[in-house]
Structure 1
Amino acid sequence: MNTRGLLDQLLKSGQELLQNKGLAQAGGQPQAGQGAGKGGLDIGSLLSGAGGGALAAGALGLLLGSKKARKMGGKVVAYGGLAALGVIAYKAYGNWQRQQASAPRGEPQTVDRLPPVEAEAHSHAILRALVAAAKADGHIDARERQLIDGEIAKLTGDLELQGWLDRELAKPLDPREVAGAAQSEEMAAEMYLASLLMVDEENYMERAYLDELARQLSLDPGLKAELEAQAQKALQALPA
């Protein structure tokens, strides 16, 4: 499965998502047969937009839910692509390592620093965490799953990956099962960071899921705090 390429497209789609949010707020209309959704995001335009960025933004917007997509688009832009997510995780993990009393453990092996085979394994775990976090508010119903499946099919012809994603969307939300994909501390850090991208931390249900995921990932509280701090710095670095 080429999970890495799909995940990179989804993470890079934030600019398209934000541009469409601006269109919706300016009064743009959804395409025939498609709704702007509960929060006013013009999902219709996302689904009918040209180019991979628009398609990926459509898939991500559906995963987030229209209301949350309007609020969370900036987070996606801050994280950028998969390499950018790896850089944020690397900074957080490196800072946390330096705070430890134990001997240095070597350079963090985050997704941006790995050879293709290992980066693919990391990407698989990150995408699992991202999809699970998108379900934390319970908004993805059968119709939205069909729409997401359709958008993913436009982004990748990999039938194995499409089937895997459909099964992930259909699963009951289980933080312990999600955390089981982490094979290293760096991978756990990246999974938590991707989950931060998808949740609304002001929503009690989503914040509770995020905290439980951190517990199941056995994240050190200091590493968890450093990941959250680095994510916030990335947001603050965005142009106004």
Structure 2
Amino acid sequence: MFNASNLINEVLGAGSGANMQKGKDYLSKNAGGLAGGAVAGGLAGYMLGSKKGRKMAKKTVQYGGLALVAGLAFKAYKNWQGGRPPGQTTPGQTSAPATSHMQSSPPPISEIPSVPRDSAFAVEPETENSNCFGAALVSAMIAAAKADGQIDGAEQDAIFAKIDDLSLSNDEKAFLMDQLRRPLDIDSLVALAQNKEQAVELYVASLMAIEVDNPAEQGYLGMLAARLSLEPELVEHIHGSMAEAALV
């Protein structure tokens, strides 16, 4: 079986099973944040640096990676559908916003909403193979991490070594390595979204994987939003929800 839940947890640095419980125990004793160690590791921590990696790991420990992506996407989409003003974004902004364009960060939200089981935002955690949407979310994260062109051959080899240490099956490790080897292909990524809800989730996963602190990453997100046919106001809601969750 291909466990997309374990895969995304490992990528975001929270691990699974016993490691996940250790992370929760750590958080209960250290409410101020993560000091390091396995909980702050994972591919996200390696590729994004300790600050963003720890943010991802902390939230993933609390909610689980699939629930985190789905919950943030669900929240942003419902707020957009309800006509609510985007949180903490520049009024009148019409393109995919970057963190540098956003106003002062709002207070972190206490909870990320749960997604109903019958919702189109729900992601199957375990399937027969990697042809599942949970794996697509990981593909989106890796593609976004490649957007600035900074993952060269040496870094890729180091990431492969990191993958060997993850608590994943051989199929799951092979999937990660294949995604890292592949050239950046936004057309193939966009084709993985079968509906609007999944398009929002792919964008959320992509935004989670990068700091958005250079023109290449900003340009990539703008192109991705356009190719996924996401309305500018919806994109603002996504960035606003991420800011409320203290993930940008």
One fold, TM greater than 0.5? yes
Residue aligning to 1:91: 75
Contact residue 45 and residue 54 of structure 2 kept, 8 A: no
The correspondence of residues 16-165 of structure 1 with structure 2, limited to 5 A, is 19-20=35-36, 53=39, 57-64=41-48, 69-73=49-53, 75-77=55-57, 79-80=59-60, 81-82=64-65, 83-99=67-83, 108-111=119-122, 116-117=126-127, 121-165=132-176
Question: What is the CA-CA distance between 1:12 and the residue it aligns to?
Answer: 5.0
The 8 Å contact of residues 214 and 224 in structure 1, kept in 2 or not, is answered as: yes
Which of 191, 197, 210 is the equivalent residue of 1:180?
Answer: 191
Contact 2:3 2:127 in 1 (8 A): no
Superposed CA offset, 1:82-120 (max 9, x none): 2122211111111122239xxxxxx742236x57559x8
Instruction: Give the Å deviation of 1:63.
Output: 2.5
The code of the aligned residue for 2:35 comes to Q
Gaps of 5+ in 2: 16-22, 27-32, 85-117
When residues 122 and 13 of structure 1 are mapped into structure 2, their CA distance, relative to the original with a 3 A threshold, is same
Cα separation, 1, equivalents of 2:168 and 2:55: 28
TM-aligned CA deviation for residue 152 of structure 1: 1.9
Matched with 2:106 is: none
Partner SS, residue 120 of structure 2 = coil
Flag the 1:128–1:160 CA change in 2: closer, same or farther, 3 A. Answer: same
**Aligned-partner residue type, residue 7 of structure 1:** I
Cα distance, 1:200 vs. partner? 2.3
RMSD: 3.1
Percent of aligned positions that are identical: 34
Following the alignment from structure 1 to structure 2, what is the Cα–Cα distance between the partners of residues 9 and 164? 13
> Which residue of the other structure, out of 194, 212, 216, is the alignment partner of 2:205?
194
Alpha-carbon spacing, 1:183–1:134, altered in 2? closer, same or farther (3 Å): same
Following superposition, the deviation at residue 156 of structure 1 comes to 3.8
Asked if 1:232 corresponds to 2:243, the answer is yes
Give 1:169 shift. Answer: 0.9
> Structure 2: which amino acid aligns with 1:5?
N
What SS does structure 2 have at the residue aligned with 1:19? coil
Q: Report the Cα distance in structure 2 between the residues aligned to 1:233 and 1:140, rounded to whole angstroms.
A: 29
The structure whose RCO (Cα within 8 Å, separation 6+) is larger is: 2
Distance 1:18 1:174 in 2: 34
Q: Identify, as 1 or 2, the structure richer in helix.
A: 1
Query: What is the TM-score normalised by the length of structure 1?
Result: 0.68
Task: Give, in angstroms, the shift of residue 150 of structure 1.
Answer: 2.4
Question: After the TM superposition, which segments of 4 or more aligned residues of structure 1 sit over 6 Å from their partners?
Answer: 14-17
- Give 1:132 shift: 0.6
Cα distance per residue 1:52-97 (max 9 Å; x no partner): x36xx14322332xxxx14423541574332122211111111122
Structure 1 stretches lacking a partner, 5+ long? 21-48, 101-106
Counterpart-to-counterpart distance in 1, 2:219 and 2:71: 26
Paired residues in the alignment total 193
